[in-house]
């Protein structure tokens, strides 16, 4: 049981590391864009005008790529959510199995045992 839990926790940690890497990359891209915009606005000369034109071109290119990036990241997020859901389902099943074994070893009747007994009592009282 402990090995299974550690294995499940290790997978979740790897997914968290991936998410943090994506966040860090997005932050760096954002900062690079802000820096480029600031540089373009700082110069009031022809270089500044060209910088603004280049910045506008980069914005347009980014807009065309945005739908692709959203699709890819959406797919990855859906995949990660499915893995997380599967991990929780496995963890829940391990827990339920462990509790059932513990109750059985203590002699606590299961739901099926009680249903069979109730049916038998009903048959005998008829």
1-16 mean pLDDT: 60
> What's the rounded Cα separation, in Å, for the pair 124 and 113?
16
Band of residue 26 on the pLDDT scale cut at 50, 70, 90: confident
What pTM does this model have? 0.37
20-33 mean pLDDT: 83
Band of residue 31 on the pLDDT scale cut at 50, 70, 90: confident
Q: Which residues contact 36 (CB under 8 A, 6 or more apart)?
A: 51, 55, 58
Q: Which two tokens stand for residue 44?
A: 């009031």
């Amino acid at each position: 049981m402990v090995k299974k839990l550690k294995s499940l926790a290790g997978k979740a940690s790897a997914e968290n590391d991936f998410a943090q890497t994506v966040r860090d990359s997005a932050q760096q891209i954002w900062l690079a864009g802000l820096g480029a915009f600031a540089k373009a606005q700082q110069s009031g000369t022809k270089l500044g005008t060209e910088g603004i034109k280049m910045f506008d071109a980069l914005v347009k290119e980014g807009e065309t790529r945005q739908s692709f990036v959203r699709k890819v990241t959406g797919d990855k997020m859906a995949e990660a959510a499915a893995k997380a859901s599967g991990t929780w389902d496995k963890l829940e099943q391990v827990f339920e199995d462990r509790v059932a074994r513990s109750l059985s070893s203590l002699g606590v009747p299961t739901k099926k045992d009680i249903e069979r007994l109730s049916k038998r009592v009903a048959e005998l009282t008829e």
